[in-house]
Chain A
């Protein structure tokens, strides 16, 4: 049996044209997918039962016992942290936000450690963006800045930009110019018409130079800016202004390098400036397939895209204070629930040590680096393969993830709902 048009639960591209071949409730093969998505569809090996540490040893326990223990941990906590969320669907995230509200938790997502600076910049200067199809159909200039689509978003170029069929583009290969900006010659640089190599930490300067040029002030730009020759910048500024529709995509190369959100702000202001001359848009290359969905859900429910502290009985947002890394660095949380992410693999050592020192529970189908920090792990259905629900693509387009495999594993949403119910029961029973 073949199921078509399956959205891929890997990256923020959320390609929804995957064909999956099934036999007897098992995936045999996947078509149209990139290697990253492929690996996810075909991955084996998962945790079969909930596990709990007892006397220093992992033991298998029932769902009931694991949920009971989780509810007890969260009920007893004074400063609970609910973290992760980007690898699950909106329907589960909603339950998480309600849970956070009910127990006065701090809730944050993986956004906090990736595009957090992009959001701060947007909150200062806004975001001239568009859906990906607008780029596909119209853009004659595409700029990848501080990101590596070929490795991190392998189908971005073929589905949405360089190699995609476009309504107003006669020949997508010759009629679209591509500029790649990076600190090293990445794979993407090879297909670029223009590759700008910036010295590490120099993005802000280069963006400022381009802004000056777009404003007609070439005279203030020195001969070389962060290792980039003025002539090249002039060429690029001219390409930008001559484009009918220019689209900038940026990644962690500018959000997480020196200058952080100021870089993004500068890039946005360059794009806003360019709109006085022609059409330009800018978009973040979001990582997890539903990282943007959590930002959306938390925003409509609480007013902010990430890092919301419910401990005061209202939604309090102050990045730098209410962001997960800062909170853990201050060793504030006394309990932690991790879901649909793997902080154990990415977080700084000191924060991981604190997570290991407090009762931490993980909801995840697989054993991962975070498992080592946990007291309890509850395995669940794999979202987007064994569980359906809503995800938001990197450009904000909502897509319904499919359930293509039957499973006995409960979904994230079901587990969270059972935890909420159990916490209420405990509260009622004192």
Chain B
């Protein structure tokens, strides 16, 4: 087996309790080991910052809606073209890069694991096809259940066990990783052009509220002992005053898992808005962050907005339509039968726009206000808030009050009256950044046991070495150096191989797709359940036998089998 010895690595590994120690890391095959033999290839890390490979716990890189974002946007494709070079294929796209573009660029930033934020089960094959062409990262798919008729009917009947059984069947069939709820109830209502305003409103077509769906899914999730918690995109995204809905949602969440949170709420920036309209739109990051501080059962990610062009894409079809009515640019929508919706529009977040300026501030505020970095992870909801290539700038903003002030001086002047950001002095340190970009993700996703997110013997050898000497940089003042350092690793190591060197991918790579398979007793096996089969065969346009994602799509993969309480 190939061996590598990393010498003089300056390691921050929060999961293992290491906060800045100069050490050697031995790799044999795909794993970190106690020691390497004489034959090991030696890489001198020169005291550079060495972290576990980056993990993006919520990004949109693969599947139907992402690809439609590319399809409809030749202007975005032209904005990010690179030529074939070495083993690197051509790439296109800035905010929605081609699959190779995503993979190379994430790898240059030191990312080795990506969680696709929203996979519609019916179109799962497509997501898995794109995973294959995202070769330098491991892939996980959050699977959409917000409008799943089988699950909704079971919840309507108050039968959580049956809901769990349907979730189990579906996750196994589509090779998904976790339960994703996007605007629960709202995407179903959107099937007839309606939406849901908040968690206690009845869905027009089922005798349920979003609160019923969220609570039911959380219970079902724990019955199935899934590694991750329910992954929620709250109702009412993007509307002024929605923070009350967000806090109301957090109030629903019991604390029922002792290894991790019971709810992961994604892109909370988009859900922390005050005001009664756009006229008095303002930040409500403070009450939301306070709520998170008091709720150890909740983990959020930022959903940071950065200025410039990007493409918004989500399963939240009605929200995208509302955005379209604000922006009047092109709009795509794609409802998925019996399951969910989706929408796409291009946007340009402008500094001169007051609302955009406030949004930018809110994301940063959440990260600075939430006390425990394990509870607030760094994301842009790529590409919704900004393309992931902006991560280094976000890190620098969180580490430097001076940088924030400099940026603040360039945004809409009225922002100051609407946000608390200028008053926040906190500057995150290297350790906190490491938590917010990999360790926190590994814990929240429940994948530490799979060897993710740390650098001790037994871990997967997924490692990012940044050309940063923490004792030679003052991040408060030298934020440009922070940005440069996080933009391009010296080495990105994936599964024990150097895959990226100073920004260039150097091998073809082959990722692993992780998926779950809850062990369900025969009575709850939906494969043989007459009512489930009938719903399927009457109302889906694809035969039940053709629905599951076949083995052929998995390539290298790892099945996480779970014991269940069914």
A residues within 8 Å of B by Cβ? 4-5, 7, 16-17, 90, 94, 98, 101, 119, 122-134, 136-138, 159-160, 165-168, 244-245, 272, 275-276, 278-279, 281, 295-296, 299-305, 310, 313-315, 317, 388, 390, 392, 396-400
Contacts and interface: CB of A to CB of B under 8 A. Distances in A.
B72 A122 contact: yes
Interface stretch (B10-18, B29-37, B92-100, B177-185): B92-100
Interface string B526-566: 00000000000011111101100010100000000000000
B77 interface: yes
B191 A134 contact: yes
A7 B546 contact: yes
Contact of B125 (A160, A244, A400): A400
A137 to B, nearest CB: 6
Contacts of A17: 543
B71 interface: yes
A419 to B, nearest CB: 18
Contacts of A137: 337-338, 539
A126 B539 contact: no
B424 interface: no
Interface stretch (B126-134, B369-377, B400-408, B481-489): B126-134
A299 B67 contact: yes
Contact of A314 (B82, B337, B539): B82
Given A127-B72, A279-B192, A397 B541 contact: yes
Contact of A126 (B99, B344, B540): B344
B92 A302 contact: yes
B333 to A, nearest CB: 4
B83 interface: yes
B334 A136 contact: no
A188 B461 CA distance: 61
Given A130-B336, A131-B337, 12 more contacts: A5-B546, A123-B74, A131-B122, A133-B338, A245-B193, A272-B331, A276-B325, A301-B133, A303-B77, A314-B82, A398-B126, A400-B550
Given A136-B541, A399-B542, A315 B90 contact: yes
Contacts of A317: 74, 77-78
Contacts of A168: 205
A321 to B, nearest CB: 13
Interface in B179-216: 190-193, 205
A37 B325 CA distance: 43
A317 B72 CA distance: 13
B334 A300 contact: no
Given A399-B546, A400-B125, A295 B71 contact: yes
Given A133-B541, A167-B539, A396 B64 contact: yes
B72 A126 contact: yes
A383 B539 CA distance: 28
A303 to B, nearest CB: 3
Nearest to A7: B546
B331 A165 contact: no
Contacts of A300: 67, 70, 98-99, 129-130, 133
Nearest to A316: B81
- Give 10 closest A-B pairs by Cβ, nearest first: A133-B337, A303-B92, A279-B193, A126-B330, A303-B77, A130-B335, A398-B125, A133-B541, A126-B332, A128-B333
B89 to A, nearest CB: 6
A388 B90 CA distance: 28
Contacts of B333: 126-130, 275, 281
Interface string B448-487: 0000000000000000000000000000000000000000
A128 B189 CA distance: 16
B125 A275 contact: no
Given A122-B71, A134-B336, A315 B192 contact: no
A363 B153 CA distance: 49
Nearest to A280: B193
**Which of B84, B335, B338 counts the most A-chain CB atoms under 10 A from its CB?**
B335
A301 B192 contact: no
Contacts of A131: 122, 334-337, 541
12 contacts: A122-B72, A124-B330, A127-B334, A130-B334, A133-B122, A133-B338, A275-B193, A303-B91, A304-B71, A304-B92, A313-B83, A398-B129
Nearest to B69: A299
B327 to A, nearest CB: 11
Contacts of A303: 70, 74, 77, 81, 91-93, 98
B242 to A, nearest CB: 22
Contacts of B543: 5, 16-17
Contacts of B334: 127, 129-131, 396
A132 B541 contact: yes
B73 interface: yes
A133 B191 contact: no
Nearest to A102: B84
B524 interface: no
A314 B88 CA distance: 12
A96 B268 CA distance: 42
B98 A245 contact: no
